[in-house]
Structure 1
Amino acid sequence: MQKVFDNVNALDKRCYDEFGLSEDLLMEHAATSMLQYIQSKFLNNEQILIICGSGNNGADGIALARLLHSQYAVSIFMPYHVKSVMAKLQYKRAKLLGVHVIDELSELLPGNAPDVIVDCLFGSGLNRALDDESQRLITRLNALHGHKVACDIPSGLNMQGQVTSVGFCANVTITMGALKTSLYSDIAKDLTGHIMVSDLGVHRNIYETTTNTYLLDPFDMQLPLRTKQNSHKGTFGHLSVIVGNKAGAGIIAAEAAFAFGAGLVTVITDKAVNIPLHIMQQYTLPEKCTALAIGMGLGKFKQSEVKRMLCLDIPKVIDADLFHDDIILTVLNDEGVVLTPHPKEFCSLLRLSKLADITVEELQNNRLKYLRLFAETYPKVVLLLKGANSLITYNRIVYINTLGNNALSKGGAGDVLTGLIASLLTQGHSAIDATITASLAHGMSAKNYTKNNYSLTPMDIIEGVKVL
């Protein structure tokens, strides 16, 4: 996993104060990283357009233009006057070298369209809503067909990961120094493209300090591969899945759990349900139940019966309908509990716990803010907030999983995730390890799916998990 920071101003200052690195030197490394990326992708003499703002993000772009000059047909477009000290210095250097500066985008002839468009307008310096001129400019840049590179942060995306009007849609974002949380909001996923980190004169191991936020990657996934030969089905736990009014949700979770290594899986229901032969059914919890999955498709329920199950001293995954009832408050200070709400359910949970009364829109614009608020109040439970990027928190640490994709926007996908987490819990994994691994496996299965992305089914996700 990689460290992620809300901003890197303190890290830059540390480079100046402790390592004797100048602002100019850091900027040269930023520009060089973009140069190296372009050189790795494009031949000499390609048309490159760099759009530069008035501050230091623009200065990075002007420095890049100087480095590209003569090897490529590079043009700078500066819609605003340069203002920062570094922008003025870099502009002076570029002009002395003879770098081409255009006054209007209309100077780019139809037959001379840029092969590469580099966005150096605002970066992490955006702290206001875009004016009309900037909105029109970004919209026009998005309409160009060249390969799009964002410097640090796509313009239009602010440091809270919000887009107030329009954002630059990049194929790749080269962010400076370290990863930033703003790059991992749900809306940012349609803007950033592939995210790379540029070193700024020292290796990231030196540049970065401590953080409470981490980006997960596939190497953090610990599949429940079996190594012990002297074993039996009970060795790998007995999971109980509560099946409610919408029986399909619980059955999908049960299937996922069995495929992910649970030794025994029993669905608990008093109704006749159509289940696979390898899944068992009972009316009451088995005596040797080692984990519980409850909530998905539950519908109306007897509060006393659910409360009795929630009070059992076994690991639990809680999903869906239970986030709309104050019975959920009984487990918020318990270890070994995993909560898996989608945004609307998390808003309900925040209201029930009296932490916030907000709309889904407000949550989606501030996902990390409200996740951290919950984590600060209830650090013992594991919470996975579903979304374009899944956010996981435990013990006030936040983990970001970006591996999921739009193929998972299907009914039943969340039930598979619940089953995967529950399966690992019943096999003895800790709540946080189970959630991280299951979430990554869930995302990797969708990522590896080779058919049309609209066709993914819950059973496809389960099949994909089997071959990770």
Structure 2
Amino acid sequence: MQNVYKNLEILDKRAIEKYLLSGEILMENAAAALHTLITKLSHRGSVVIIVCGGGDNGADGYALSRRLVGEFHTKLFIAKEPKSKMCLIQHQRAMEAQIEVVKKIYPCDIIIDCLFGTGLVGEVLSDYQKIITSMNRLGRIKIACDIPSGLFADGRASEVVFEADWTLSMGALKTAFFSDRAKECVGQVVVGDLGVSRELYEVSSNTHLLEKSDMHLPIRHRANVHKGDFGHLCVYAGEHSGAALLAGMAAYGFGAGLVSVLGEGFVKPIELMATQSIPKNVSAFALGMGMGAVPCDLDKMLACAPCVLDADLFYYEGIKGILESYENLVLTPHPKEFVSLLSLTGFAQIDVLELLNDKMEILRAFGMKYPHITTLLKGANTLISQNDKIYINHFGTPNLAKGGSGDVLAGLIGALLAQGYGGLKASITASLAHSFGARMEKSSYGLTPLKLIENIKNIV
């Protein structure tokens, strides 16, 4: 996993002081990182238009222009006259290098967004909206320097945003890239070194970006085993039993040795067991999906084994008492359910839009209130919290936007809890498997929960 930071100013200052660098050295290395990326993405002689603002992001663009001359047909579009100290200096250097300045943006091979950077404050004015719209329309390859223009440092977005194919983040990764809205505009994110390696530039962080290597599948390494070695998950089936059956099927396909469905009035798949009482050897529960009315023996289930809680339980008035009384819980709400959970626990009275505008920090604060609980908050980017730490899964795809996908995820987590995983490890592995299972589907719209389960069985 990789470190992610809300603000890099402190890291820039630390690099300057600790390694005896300067802001100008960092900027020249930022330009060098952009140059390297452009060289990888296009061929010599390509037309490159660099759109420069008046601040240090614009200064990066001017510094870049000097490096590209002779190798690329380089043009500058000055969207705003230089204002910051470094922008004035870099503009003068670019003019001394006789970089061509164009009066309008026209079709080009590569367009570089050096308009606002992380310094965007307030709404984007209409003149700049027109410039960004032209950039989106006329660049064959679109690269954002540090952050797409129109995306705020907290992850919110203005009405018009630069739609980057690539975002080159300077020094380290920023939390702004992983809001749900940012997923539409950052493209592929890469990090550019600023004169020191990331190992030297970065410090410890309480926010992490997950990688595929963080997925620890329940691979069976021992040969002398039996079904009891791999746990027994019990899934409660309430009023809408289909959700519980999907969860059970997912769990059975993800390594659980035994899966029982507790309830009545349903036709079970042949692989699963049906029961009307809590199994004696149960090692984990999955509760809430399609539940409807709360079961009378809920407290008994919560007390005897780790549980993944989903869906209807986040509207249950007794949820606050559950969170205060029990440990070994994994919560898997979507945003609307999480807003209900925040209200019922007395944590906050907010709507979904307020949550989405500050999802990461609200989830972090909730995790600190209930440090013994793991919460997986679904979304375009899934966030997993435990105490003050946040783990970001950015691998999710639109084909997961189907009824039943969340039930599959709850079943995957339940299967891992049953096999002895802790809540955090189970949530991370299940979430990544869920995403990579979806990525195996070629269609963006045709994925079904049962096909997702089959795909997950074949992840290697």
TM over 0.5: yes
Partner of 1:177: 171
The 2-side partners of 1:44 and 1:433 are apart by 46
The 2-side partners of 1:432 and 1:326 are apart by 25
Partner of 2:448: 457
Report the Cα offset of residue 165 of structure 1.
1.4
Partner of 1:2: 2
Segments of 5+ residues of structure 2 without an aligned counterpart are none
Partner of 2:316: 325
- 1:342-399 Cα deviation digits (max 9, x unpaired): 0000000000111111111111111112101201211110000000000000121100
Contact 2:413 2:430 in 1 (8 A): yes
Matches within 5 A, 1:355-366: 355-366=347-358
- 1:123-168 Cα deviation digits (max 9, x unpaired): 1111221111111211221122410000111010001100131110
Matches within 5 A, 1:345-364: 345-364=337-356
The 2-side partners of 1:76 and 1:340 are apart by 48
Does residue 210 of structure 1 match 2:204? yes
Report the Cα offset of residue 313 of structure 1.
3.0
Matches within 5 A, 1:228-247: 228-247=222-241
Residue 318 of structure 2 aligns to a residue in which SS? helix
Does residue 187 of structure 1 match 2:181? yes
Q: 1:297 aligns with which of 290, 305, 311?
A: 290
Residue 415 of structure 1 aligns to a residue in which SS? helix
Q: Which amino acid aligns with 1:326?
A: E
Partner of 2:372: 380
The 2-side partners of 1:196 and 1:58 are apart by 19
- Higher deviation after alignment, 129-138 or 192-201: 129-138
The 1-side partners of 2:322 and 2:72 are apart by 61
The 2-side partners of 1:144 and 1:246 are apart by 50
Residue 108 of structure 2 aligns to a residue in which SS? coil
Matches within 5 A, 1:20-419: 20-105=20-105, 108=106, 113-271=107-265, 273-302=266-295, 304-310=296-302, 312-333=303-324, 334-419=326-411
Contact 1:6 1:180 in 2 (8 A): yes
Report the Cα offset of residue 69 of structure 1.
1.1
The 1-side partners of 2:38 and 2:330 are apart by 44
Contact 2:228 2:257 in 1 (8 A): yes
The 1-side partners of 2:139 and 2:153 are apart by 27
Q: Which TM-score applies when normalising by structure 2?
A: 0.98
The 2-side partners of 1:134 and 1:313 are apart by 59
Q: Which amino acid aligns with 2:16?
A: Y
Q: Which amino acid aligns with 1:297?
A: G
Contact 1:307 1:327 in 2 (8 A): no
Number of residues paired by the alignment?
458
The 2-side partners of 1:135 and 1:386 are apart by 31
Contact 1:127 1:159 in 2 (8 A): no
Residue 270 of structure 2 aligns to a residue in which SS? coil
Segments of 5+ residues of structure 1 without an aligned counterpart are none
- Higher deviation after alignment, 276-285 or 141-150: 141-150
Report the Cα offset of residue 186 of structure 1.
0.3
Following superposition, which runs of at least 4 residues in structure 1 exceed 4 angstroms of deviation? none
Residue 338 of structure 1 aligns to a residue in which SS? strand
Q: Which amino acid aligns with 1:231?
A: V
Residue 11 of structure 1 aligns to a residue in which SS? helix
Q: Which amino acid aligns with 1:399?
A: Y
The 2-side partners of 1:225 and 1:207 are apart by 36
Report the Cα offset of residue 45 of structure 1.
1.4
- 1:86-140 Cα deviation digits (max 9, x unpaired): 11111111111110112333xx4xxxx2110110111111122111111121122
Residue 455 of structure 1 aligns to a residue in which SS? coil
Contact 2:365 2:388 in 1 (8 A): no
